[in-house]
Structure 1
Amino acid sequence: MAGCLVAGTAAAGTLGGTLQAQMQLTAGCMVAGSSGATAGLNFGTLDFGSRPGTFTGIVTATPAGGEGVSGPTQLVCSPEVLGISVQVGSGSYAGQGSGIGVGSRAMRHGSTTAYIPYELYRDAAHTQPYPAGSAVTGINVPANGAAFSLPIHGQINKSNPTALPAGTYTDTLQVTVTY
């Protein structure tokens, strides 16, 4: 009977081997603070601040608050991406307000016919404009994958002292970054 008990007991065994773990990363860019989405992004706000309705002169702004992050809107690209192109649409009111100042795009006050024209540039010196609807290519990015500011610089150049109605002036721009 003892022999039957030994034969009926299974011996414990072990298995050994390896398991591979892997992940493939692709070259790309994202708005700092985003989850890596490629569509429906919030590039922030180009806020020119507050001025009296009779102001004249130049006012500048850069995008801030992209993807809900405080401070300047920044992009981050993988180290393999050495250059990007940026296309900025013409906005909703292109060509309006030319009697007030200079600019190919314009912001509108609510549903009125009051406009403030403005222009967009890729450089802080305001010498390289973004043509409405055309991509600007050859924009260098840091080779080490460091964050950098979205290269959009806005400028209002209101030359006419005509008073404009008080209120908020807005425009919506479509931005496409290609890497």
Structure 2
Amino acid sequence: MTTLSIFDQSVPESPRVVTEDSGKIANLLAEHGVRFEQWSTRELPADASSDDILQAYSGEIQALKAECGFQAADVISLNPDNPQKEAFRQKFLDEHVHSEDEVRFFVRGQGLFYLHFGDQVYAIMCQKNDLISVPDGTRHWFDMGPEPAFTCIRLFTNPEGWVADFTGEDIASRLPRYERLAGVAG
């Protein structure tokens, strides 16, 4: 289940708010310019290719491109048997920003986005059916867990794809990781 946990930066060991109410999650995120929606997913074979996935969601992708000016879309998918899973996890675990919105639609599985707003951190356990769009310049990081199992469609305004500017802050190391919050999410 999709879960939002809100932490005060000064008390990073326990959240002050936890909710699984998708409407409340959308409203709390919208206060910070973050788009959160839940879309219907398609039934696709387990071995569906990136092209198959992009084709299955072509209507939604084209609508987002037209609405937001995205130029490119791709698919990222990781499974627990990936020999580079730890390197992939580490790549996204430090706080960073982008010069464009970071958009993810979860076709399968789950992952944890952390969004840093002032002295608060919002941790959103995104699940299959969740669309999140993190505005450019938003301090954030992503934790896919030690045994990643997800497939996401990503959209970009920069045709080169994912480009991060790391903040150098250590906040990501002070908050509970995926392993603990996945337990909160059930």
Query: Same fold by TM (over 0.5)?
Result: no
Q: So what's the TM-score if we normalise by structure 2?
A: 0.22
Q: As a proportion of its length, which structure holds more helix?
A: 2
TM-score, length basis structure 1: 0.23
Higher relative contact order (CA 8 A, sep 6+): 2
